[in-house]
Amino acid sequence: MESPTNTIGLQDSYGRVMRDLRISVTDRCNFRCLYCLPETEEASNFYRDQQSGKQVPSSKTFIRYPWKPKKDILTFEEIERFTRIAADLGVEKIRLTGGEPLLRSGIASLIANIRDIPGIKDVALTSNGFQFRKHAQQLKDAGLSRMTFSMDSLDPDNFKKMTGRSGLQAVLDSIDLAKQLGFEPVKVNAVIIRNLNDHELEDLVQFGKDRQISMRFIEYMPLDHGKAWQKTMVVTGQEMLERIQARFDMEQVPPANPSETAKRWKHKDGHGEVGIIASVSEPFCKQCNRLRLTADGHLRTCLFSHNEHDFKSLLKEESTDDTIIEKLKTVVWGKELGHKIGREDFIQPKRTMSFIGG
């Protein structure tokens, strides 16, 4: 098999070609979602109840996540340079994530500069939506292509239990505003967790249908800071689909490309779409074309990687593009075949989703 330096673009040893780069612009977040950064008493009590008397994290265990100091976070110039190099090697799609990316000052200028990089065809952003309204027009003017919001509940009390914050109405208003401003498509992600919000599944589908937007239902993954994930709390994609099809008249949508993470269905009346991301029960690793750049400049070749590759030091030291390209190709060549969730040898990554970026 040819060496990584001889491959065209960013290809791994299994023949997958990287086209999608997720960039976490900050590890900071203004929510404390219990599947990511659980710090509240309610989160602690929920996990304790699920595990029926077993030894579980207490509220004292859910300590505040230690944010990285500003000096350790990639500058916009470093992000733009890395993106330009990646685009020269075939990356076409950029998704800005966090943490909460709208906490990063000047995010619209970063989007505008990324849009101007030759080869970049699409720039999207994932947000909890709490501060979207004050940034919305700037993001649109900067050339942001698509918006994805995270919203796991339509019930104010359950929303607060899941996020640690009161803010449902602000998120609902943000989703409506994104539609009004012409972001297309507008997507809403919901992580479905047994005994927490799984009873809202059909209501969330109806919400998407009423607003003619794309709902994405995600299996609960082991990426929480509290290390309290249990497989019994996973509502599988198949279970979700059976429940949705029992109530709604749906038809499957062919994938736009083989690397899509979601299996998709649309309402037959044309009002909205449903996608199911079954990372735990139906992994799509063999088609994965994604890389993740953490807020502190480490590249991850898999969401569940245990190895991270430092590029910030190269960017900081003003290494040549050729040096960065050589390392990038070598790192991608070693990309894992897939994650090991469900296997006895699976070990949860040390860093939470907030720092890795979704």
pLDDT tier, 304 (very low <50, low <70, confident <90, very high otherwise): confident
Query: Does pLDDT of 330 surpass 70?
Result: yes
Query: Does pLDDT of 343 surpass 70?
Result: no
Q: Is 260 exposed, middle or buried (0-12, 13-18, 19+ CB in 10 A)?
A: middle
Measured between alpha carbons, how far is 259 from 261 in angstroms, rounded to an integer?
6
Which residue in the block uniquely carries the two structure tokens 């219990």?
34
Query: Does pLDDT of 241 surpass 90?
Result: yes
Please give the average per-residue pLDDT across 242-263, as a whole number. Answer: 93
Mean pLDDT over all residues of the chain?
Answer: 88
> Model's pTM, two decimal places?
0.89
pLDDT tens readout for residues 55-103: 554 444 555 666 788 889 999 999 999 999 999 999 999 999 999 999 9
Measured between alpha carbons, how far is 128 from 9 in angstroms, rounded to an integer?
33
The pLDDT of residue 303: 78
Say which residues have a Cβ less than 8 Å from residue 283's Cβ, sequence separation at least 6: 338, 339, 341
Domain ranges of the chain: 4-356
The pLDDT of residue 167: 94
The pLDDT of residue 355: 62
The pLDDT of residue 69: 86
pLDDT tens readout for residues 169-200: 999 999 999 999 999 999 999 999 999 999 99
Nearest residue to 235 via CA among 204, 269, 272: 204
The pLDDT of residue 194: 95
The pLDDT of residue 284: 77
The pLDDT of residue 147: 98
Residues in the chain: 358
- Between 64-73, 263-272, 286-295, 340-349, the lowest mean confidence (pLDDT) is in 340-349
The pLDDT of residue 5: 65
The pLDDT of residue 307: 83
pLDDT tens readout for residues 104-121: 999 999 999 999 999 999
Please give the average per-residue pLDDT across 272-300, as a whole number. Answer: 90
pLDDT tier, 149 (very low <50, low <70, confident <90, very high otherwise): very high
Please give the average per-residue pLDDT across 292-308, as a whole number. Answer: 88
pLDDT tens readout for residues 126-140: 999 999 999 999 999
4-356 maps to which CATH number? Answer: 3.20.20.70
The pLDDT of residue 302: 85
